[in-house]
Structures are given as C-alpha cells and as structure tokens.
Amino acid sequence: MALEKVITYDYEVKTEYKHIGERTKTAIVEDGNELSYSYHRRVLTPEMDVSSESDEIKGIASTVWTDAVKEAWCLHSKGYPIGDPSTDWELAQLQKYCAYNGIEHEDDDSKSELVEKIEAA
C-alpha cells in the first residue's frame, strides 16, 4: 500500500497568437488506484523567454511562434511593432512605445522628436 505522487502534463495551442496552454495534473495514487488529483494551468505568450522551460514547451514554441506571430502579438498586446523604433512607425505606435517604456513625451511631439527621446532614454 504505497502512495505515489504522479505528475503529468498536457498542452494546447489557442488563439491567433498561438498561446501555449500547459495543464499540470498532480495525482495521488495507491496501488494503481487514483485517490485524488488537482490541476494547475498556465499560459505562455509569444514574447516570453522559454529557454528554461521543458523540451516539450520549447518545441511547441519554436514551431508555432513564427516571426509573424510574434509581430502580431506585439502589435496586439503593446500597440507597437517589434524592433527598434523609427520614423517609419506610426505616431501612435511611437507614443505607445514611450508610454509602455516610461519615456516622457508630449502629445504634440513629432515622430522625429519621439525617436530622439527614445534613443536618448
């Protein structure tokens, strides 16, 4: 009559941004019979560093998190593109970059003024 703790994982990919859902099941088993279990869930998004994650998560992320998916997620979640800000960005994107990164700016700053402030930060 030995008790055993059994941990299993399952994964799913959802949304157009390829969020990776991980569900961990922890079960207490006695002589092959499951006595109790609990679940823990978490979601990983394309901007996350998965280098210290399991091989399963690394494999899923490297497959589904293409550059296009990462770019789309950044635009959706932050309001600006991936990469270094430039005057090629829209004014609203530069303003959001400044706000997100705590860079002081004025609403009437031009694109070039915002890029200068970003580079100086």
The 10s digit of each residue's pLDDT in 49-99 is 999 999 999 999 999 999 999 999 999 999 999 989 999 999 999 999 999
The parent domain of residue 69 ranges over 1-78
- What's the DSSP call for residue 26? E
My answer on whether 34 and 2 are in the same domain is yes
Sequence-distant (≥ 6) Cβ neighbours of residue 118 within 8 angstroms: 85, 94, 97, 98, 101, 103
CB 92 within 8 A of CB 99: no
My answer on whether 118 and 68 are in the same domain is no
Distance CA 117, CA 112 (A): 9
What's the structural domain count of the chain?
Answer: 2
My answer on whether 3 and 55 are in the same domain is yes
What is the pLDDT at residue 46?
97
My answer on whether 91 and 113 are in the same domain is yes
What is the pLDDT at residue 67?
96
Mean pLDDT of 25-32: 96
My answer on whether 22 and 42 are in the same domain is yes
Claim: this prediction has a pTM higher than 0.75: yes
Distance CA 39, CA 76 (A): 29
SS3 120: helix
My answer on whether 59 and 16 are in the same domain is yes
What is the pLDDT at residue 1?
73
